[in-house]
Amino acid sequence: MTTRIAIAGAAGRMGRHLIEAAHKAEGTRPTVALEAPGHPSLGNDAGVLAGVGELGVPVADDLAAQADDFDVLIDFTLPEVTLAHVRACHAIGRAIVIGTTGLTDEQKQELAEVARDIPVVFAPNMSVGVNLCLKLLDMAARVLGDEVDIEVIEAHHRHKIDAPSGTALRMGEVVAEALGRDLKECAVYGREGRTGERDRRTIGFETIRAGDIVGEHTVMFAGEGERVEITHKASSRMTFAGGAVRAAAWLAGRPAGLYDMQDVLGLKE
């Protein structure tokens, strides 16, 4: 059975890759492409926009009007836009895959409530490699324990609007959970001035924004005499887009619930 995919943020950096990935993957096809009201791409063909040739899918700005034309919405936009799409999918009973980062705790709470009624995949990073790293981080934190200083370093392109990245925060959460810490209490975001000595129970975050870096994350576990670093480097957005399309195909027909990429990839015990 073919899963019909709607893509929100179709003209964006991720949106164009999502159109290509949904078009090229077996068992999925892009049938709806959404952009912001007034966006210059409205009315243009989504396939032409993505560089894969005409698909007969014009970019539009009204999700509800196309409710019958898709099975799963993939949304990589902005937190407030994502929440509006979550509410719309709830109203029409459609599944949604969310890649947008930077959601507030309140927005995440609303998402969790809606996921009681519709299937939702929500993950800050859809790549197989990052999700493997999350497993490795859990193991590293448990083995190295409180004997090491832990720092999360991430680098992204100059257009990224949220910091630290959703992936860096998830990495920090995984490490904190493994060590029985609460990330909200132990996170330190950047340092300046006379900081005093480092408290070993903190988890530090450093953010780089520069040029066209697609996405790089390193978690450093630094002890006396040795250090372990777990690094992931994305060199193409297709790695995220392919994961999101895989998640959409996996989600179609699932029961309501809040899932993540670890569920999609079968990485949960």
Ligand X SMILES: O=C(O)C1=N[C@H](C(=O)O)C[C@H](O)C1
Ligand Y SMILES: NC(=O)C1=CN([C@@H]2O[C@H](COP(=O)(O)OP(=O)(O)OC[C@H]3O[C@@H](n4cnc5c(N)ncnc54)[C@H](O)[C@@H]3O)[C@@H](O)[C@H]2O)C=CC1
16 binds, among ligand X, ligand Y, none (CB under 5 to 8 A by kind): none
Q: Which residue matches tokens 């002890």?
A: 223
Which positions from 154 to 193 touch ligand Y by CB under 6 A, shown as an x/- string? Answer: ------------x---------------------------
- Tell how many helices (H) and how many strands (E) occur in the chain: 9, 12
Cα–Cα distances in angstroms (integers) from residue 222 to residues 98, 169, 229, in the given order: 34, 19, 8
93 is in an annotated binding site: no
Residue 39 bears catalytic tag: no
Among residues 24, 108, 135, 160, the one annotated as catalytic is 160
Asked if 89 and 50 count as a contact pair (C-beta separation under 8 A), the reply is: no
36 to 65, contacts with ligand Y by CB under 6 A? 36, 39
Residue 103: name the closest of 95, 92, 114 by CA.
Answer: 114
44 is in an annotated binding site: no
What tokens were used for 247?
Answer: 């998640």
Please give the residue whose beta carbon sits closest to ligand Y in the complex.
12
What is the DSSP secondary structure assignment for residue 56, as one 8-state letter? Answer: S
Q: How far is the CB of 4 from ligand Y (least distance, A)?
A: 18
Q: How far is the CB of 218 from ligand X (least distance, A)?
A: 12
231 is in an annotated binding site: no
Give 226's contacts (C-beta < 8 A, 6+ positions apart): none
166 is in an annotated binding site: yes
39 binds, among ligand Y, ligand X, none (CB under 5 to 8 A by kind): ligand Y
Residue 233 bears catalytic tag: no
Q: How far is the CB of 191 from ligand Y (least distance, A)?
A: 24
- Torsion angle of C-alpha atoms 159, 161, 163, 169, degrees rounded to 10: -100
How far is it, in rounded angstroms, from Cα 162 to Cα 177? 23
156 binds, among ligand Y, ligand X, none (CB under 5 to 8 A by kind): ligand X
What tokens were used for 18?
Answer: 């999502």
How far is it, in rounded angstroms, from Cα 80 to Cα 168? 21
Q: Which is closer to ligand X, CB of 90 or CB of 156?
A: 156
220 is in an annotated binding site: no
Residue positions in the annotated binding site for NAD(+)? 9-14, 54, 99-101, 123-126
**Residues annotated catalytic, as ranges:** 156, 160
